[in-house]
A and B are shown apart, each in its own frame.
Chain A
Amino acid sequence: MKQFLFSRLLQMIPIVLGVSIIVFLIFSFVPGDYVDGMTHKNPKYTQEKIDLLKEKYGFNDPLPVRYVKWLTNTLRGDLGESFVWQRPVSEVIKVFVINSFYLSLLASMIQLLVAIPLGIFTAVRKYSGIDHMLTIFSLIGISLPSVILALFLKKIFCLDLQVLPMSGIRNLGVNLTGAALVKDMFLHLLLPAIVLALTQIPSLMRYTKTAMLEVLGADYMKTARAKGLTPMTVVYRHGLKNALIPIVTIIGMSVPDLFAGAIIIESIFGIPGVGKAALDAVSQRDFPFLMGFTMFLTVLTMVSNIVTDMVYTLVDPRLKLKGEDRL
C-alpha cells in the first residue's frame, strides 16, 4: 500500500508540471490583458501610467521568465495576487471554493439519494411502466439545459410562491449562528442544489441500472436465490455490492466537481462560488487566479483518482493494488 501511494504520488509530479506549462501557454496566447481592460474606458490614463502598470503586473517579461517566476513562487507556496480581487490567490480560492463546496455537496447528496435507488429499482423492474417513464424523464433531464429549469423553478418558488429566497447563500443583515445559520443556508442552497442534482441524476441512474443489469443476470445471483434468500437480500447484499465498482469510479471521478463550481447555477442564483469567479476571471484576464485555480483542480483530480483506486480494494477484495503483497 505504501509503495503504491509513493509511486503514484511520484508520477504526479511530471504530470502536474506538464499541465502547468500547457495551461500557462494557453493563457498567454489569449489576446488582451487585465491592464487594457481596466484602462480602456478611462481617458485619464496616460501611456506612461499604462506602461507602469504593465511593468508592475509583469506583462513585459518574456514568457519563459514569467513561467519560471510563477513556478518558483508557487513552489514557495505563493500563488500570487489576483488582479480582480486584489488579494492572494489562495485566499480567494478558499473563500469561493467553500461556497461552491456547500452547494455541490448538497446537490451530490440529493443526487446519490435519488439516483442509486431509482437505478436499482429500474434494473429490477426492467421493462415495467415505471421503468419506461423514468427512462423518458431521464432523457428529458439529460437534454434540458439547466438554465431553463433554474429560471422556471425560480419563478415558481421565489417569485410566485415566495417560499424560497431569490439569490445569495444567506440572509444579509441578520447575524445568525449555529442551527439557524445552517437552516438559512440550506434554504438558500436548496433550489440551486436541486437543479444541479436534477441534471446529474439521469446519468448516474442509468449507470447504476446498467451495472445492476449486468450483475443481476450472473450465476451467483441464481445461486443466492436458490439458497432461498429473500429478493431484497439478493439484490442488495449480493447484487449491489458487485455492481458498485463502476459506480464508485463515477462517484470518484466526480469528487473534483465538488470543488470546481457550477458556472451557470452559481450565476443564476447569485452564489459567490468559484465557478462564477473563474468565469469573471476569464473575461477580465485575471491569470494568477486562473492559473492557481486550474492547478488546484489538477492536483485534486489526480489525488481523487488515487483515492478511487484505493477504494476499489475495499469494494472488491479481488482487486489488489500494485506493489501490495498477495495474501
Chain B
Amino acid sequence: MKQFTIPAGMRDLILGECETKKKIQLEIENTLDKWGYQEVVTPTIEYYKTYNIGFDDMQEEDMYKFFDASGKIIMLRADMTIPIARVVATKFKEAPMPLRFRYCADVFKVHEELSGLQNEISDCGVELIGVDEKSGDLEILATAMEALKVVKDKKCILEIGNVNYFREACRVLNLSEENISVLGNLIGKKSLISLEEYVKTLQLDKDAQQFFLELPWMSGDYRVLEKARKYAWNTTLNTLLDDLLRLYENLSTLGYENINFDLGKISNLNYYTGIIFEAFVEGVGTRIMSGGRYDTLIGKYGRDLPAVGFSIKLDALIDIVPAVEKKKKYIIEYASKDVLKAIMKSNVLREKAIVELKVNESLDDIVVKEED
C-alpha cells in the first residue's frame, strides 16, 4: 500500500483545530484593527539576500532555500518584520508617519528533525513605524496587552527587557565585540555555569564580575529595576532604568497586570535596538509572543525610520483557548428525485443555521432533522 506523509516539521490542521485557530486569529485581528492597524500581505517567497541584510548573523541552515529560474537564491519567509521593513522602505518612500501595519501569515524555519517542533507557524502581529521610543514603546505594549486578552482567564505574563542595558554596560567596561557576543549568548540563555567560567577569564573588577553573574537573575517584577540600580554606572544606564520603570507605572495606570522585567533578556535577533518583550501563558512551554524595537532595520532597505512591533504565535494557543461552541445545525435527508426541493428548503433554513444535505434513497419526501 502506498503511504503519503508530510515533510518533517509540518502539520495538518483539521476540524475543530481550524475553527479554534480562526477564532483566535479573528479576535486578535479585531483588537489590532481598533488600534488603527491595516493589513499587509507579502509574498511567501523572498530573496535570500533580503533576509541576509536584515539578520546580521542569519543561520543559513534554518532557512528553506531554493533557486529561481535565473539562479538567484530565494527562500520561504522566516518572519514578517523583514518583508514589512522592505515594503515600507520601497513602497512608502514619501509617506507621512506613523504607519501601522498588521499581518497574519505563515512563516518558516527549519528545526532539527524529530524534535517535535513545527517548521511552519502562523504569526499574527503588528509593526508600528515612524514612532520613537518616547511614545511608541508604551503604545505597542498597551496594544500587546490588549491582544493578549485572547488567552482569557489563563495566567499570562508579559516580560520586558531592553537590549541597551547589557550593551551600554559592556561599552562602559570597554569589552571587545567577541567578549560581548559570548557574554550575550550565555546571559541570554541563562547558561549560568559557563557564564561563571567565562566571566573569570575576563579582566574585570569585582563589581563588574558580580554584575554579569547577577544579570541573568535580574528578572521578576518591577523591583528588579531597583535591584539593578547598584550597577547603573552612568546616566545612560540610570535613564534606561527610569524609562522601564515609567513604562511599568504607565501600564499599571492603564490597568494592565502581570508585567515583569528581565534585564538579562538578550535577543538572538540582533536587529533589536531598544525594548524587547515576550509573553508566556500557563500551559504553553514556549513564548507565545515576542517583539521589540528595531530603529535601524528599515534603514538597511533605504528609509531611516524608527519602528517597534510584536507577533503572537497562533499555533501555540490552539490547545489552551476553549474550543469554538458548536453551532446549530440542520440535516435535510432526501431521495435523489427531491434534490431541487431539498436545496430550496435548505436555502430557507440556512438564514439562521448551518444546513447539511444528506442522500437517503429510501425516503418518499425530504426530512428535516436538527443535529444534537
The answer to whether A and B assemble together is: no
